[in-house]
Chains A and B, each alone.
Chain A
Amino acid sequence: MSAFKTRLQALGQRDFRGLVLPLGLILAWYLISKFNLANSAILASPYEVWKEGYGQISSGAFALDLVHSVSRNLGGFVVGGTAGLILGSLLGVSRWADRLISPSFNTIKSIAIFAWIPLISVWFGMGEPAKIIFIAIAAFYPTTINTYEGIRSVHRDHVEVARVFEFSRWQLFRKVILPSASPQIITGIQLALIYSWLATIGAEYFLKSGHGIANSMIDGREHFNMGSVLFGVVVVGVVGAIVNQLAFKLEKHLLGWRNRTA
């Protein structure tokens, strides 16, 4: 009884202002489709999207697509993110590595990742390895850059203080570099999560084989099924939001010790 009451109180304290805009948009969408204010072939009604989504979910096609998309997304993210953390730390800490590798890295990085798709498709085919390689490239860049820049922007005075205290290399890394670089490293990981999801969609567009959320969107467009396309857009957004929410929680958890303005 009291648990219910506290839950109700917690609900009352939540900020619902963020819901105003989306609800308003959905209402406008509903009204437009109800009174036929727009071409109905172009603007499917919310009901049609719902029906399409329900159909895909109950037939199991949705779960299949989702599992394929998410697992290749995570696979690529883990591979690319780990590689990025390692390279970024190396470049940030070692001057020699920085001199030797950074110019090449920055040059290669300038090639828009989607430009690799035609080459990847020739070299690795259209299957799963090609997609994972592509997603890993997308996650690799932001983690490398942000880890590097995070370590590079460590304040000179802090390092001098560490020198005065005669910190060992590990202490310097653990007590000075990591705490001051961590916000940027986490930004890198967040970006990598966003990029890898983008790359997942891209990989499914360009390397058309197997199942995936974007594959079903392309199919929807080819059959001029607006309901299916819109449902796909919503799913792409929801999955992205969940991924980002996890990244945000991670940031809060890891950076709780910093006093923040907002």
Chain B
Amino acid sequence: MSTAITLNQSDIPAEVSAKRPSQWRQKTGQKLQQILWALVLPLLVLGLWQITSAHEWVSPQILPPPSLVWQTLTELWQSGDLTSNLQISVERVAYGFGVGTVVGLLLGALMGLSKTVEAYLFPTFKALSQIPALGWIPLLIMVVGIGESMKILVIAKAALVPVTVNTLQGIRNIPPQFAEVAKVYRFNTRQLLAKVVIPAALPSLFTGIRYGLTHAWLALVTVELLASSEGIGFLMVWGRQLFQLDLVLATVVIIGAVGLLIDQSLQWLETHFLKWRRVAF
């Protein structure tokens, strides 16, 4: 039936498949090269920063030297302030993101699969999602107070929107030809879901979850900057109030590190789950 050329293992010339060990060496060499290239720019910036503060071109009040930031960072770690505040922040994100993702996936799938549900819900969802999580904060503070539930609600809302939008778009953007093929094969609903909708929507779904977690973390930082007495965002506000920019920069580094960890682990998951996609570059 199909005219596609299939390549069997035996079709590959022997000299290609025999190159395993040197291939491995080549791969690690490439990796090393990649890391070296990646380090060029940060080292340049760091060097410039160090030179700037060594010559005091900028007042250390405004730009503390990198060494001081590093010292503050180690002190935060040794005193335990870092772990205790970070733990509180991570717990908040976990709760908010969990709630937001579950609701978002359900909402997105419902609207994507049923035109009727979409017609009723989507305009309202769209209107409400226009109001950034931040816009709700003054209102939420007045209604539920400044406590933990306000923070979790804001974080959940931040995660909900991208998850819903991407789930919906992923299902909607499935090419019509796929659905036609499914119709030709007379797929039932379950087959249609398992063999067409979910695989085709998966990349978009993943993007949604990735954005959801990123947004949740972003919302956490915002909420803690605005209203909290503990957590990583609070440390930053504290530093700003005391005009200790080394503390502010140290928390920036920590916030970046956690964000990077979140992003990298999700990217890793994405590449492992979506290996079957063929891309050009």
Chain A residues close to B by CB (< 8 Å): 15, 17-22, 25, 42-43, 92, 99-104, 106-119, 121-123, 151-159, 183, 194, 197-198, 201-202, 205-206, 214, 217-218, 220-221, 224, 226, 229-230, 232-233, 236-241, 243-244, 259-262
A17 engages B256 (CB within 8 Å): no
B220-238 CB contact bits vs A (8 Å, 1 = yes)? 1110011000000100110
4 cross-chain pairs, A with B, having the tightest CB-CB distances, nearest first:
A240-B130, A18-B123, A110-B259, A103-B38
B142 engages A226 (CB within 8 Å): yes
Which B residues are in CB contact (< 8 Å) with A108?
Answer: 256
B42 engages A104 (CB within 8 Å): yes
Whether A233 contacts B37 in the complex (CB less than 8 A), given A17-B120, A115-B255, A201-B132, comes out as no
Shortest CB-to-CB span from B156 to chain A, Å, is: 16
Where chain A touches its partner, the secondary structure class is helix
Which B residues are in CB contact (< 8 Å) with A224?
Answer: 142
Whether A205 contacts B252 in the complex (CB less than 8 A), given A42-B143, A237-B128, comes out as no
Tell me if B167 counts as interface (CB < 8 A to partner A).
no
Which B residues are in CB contact (< 8 Å) with A113?
Answer: 218
Q: How far is the CA of A144 from the CA of B225 in the complex (A)?
A: 26
Contact-residue bracket for chain B: 35 or more
Q: How far is the CA of A114 from the CA of B219 in the complex (A)?
A: 9
Which A residues are in CB contact (< 8 Å) with B138?
Answer: 217-218, 220-221, 229, 232-233
Which A residues are in CB contact (< 8 Å) with B40?
Answer: 100
A241 engages B240 (CB within 8 Å): no
Task: Please give 15 more A-B residue pairs, beta carbons under 8 A apart, in addition to A106-B260, A112-B222.
Answer: A18-B119, A25-B124, A103-B41, A107-B42, A114-B218, A119-B252, A122-B248, A153-B277, A154-B280, A202-B222, A206-B226, A217-B138, A229-B139, A236-B131, A237-B135
Which B residues are in CB contact (< 8 Å) with A17?
Answer: 116, 119-120
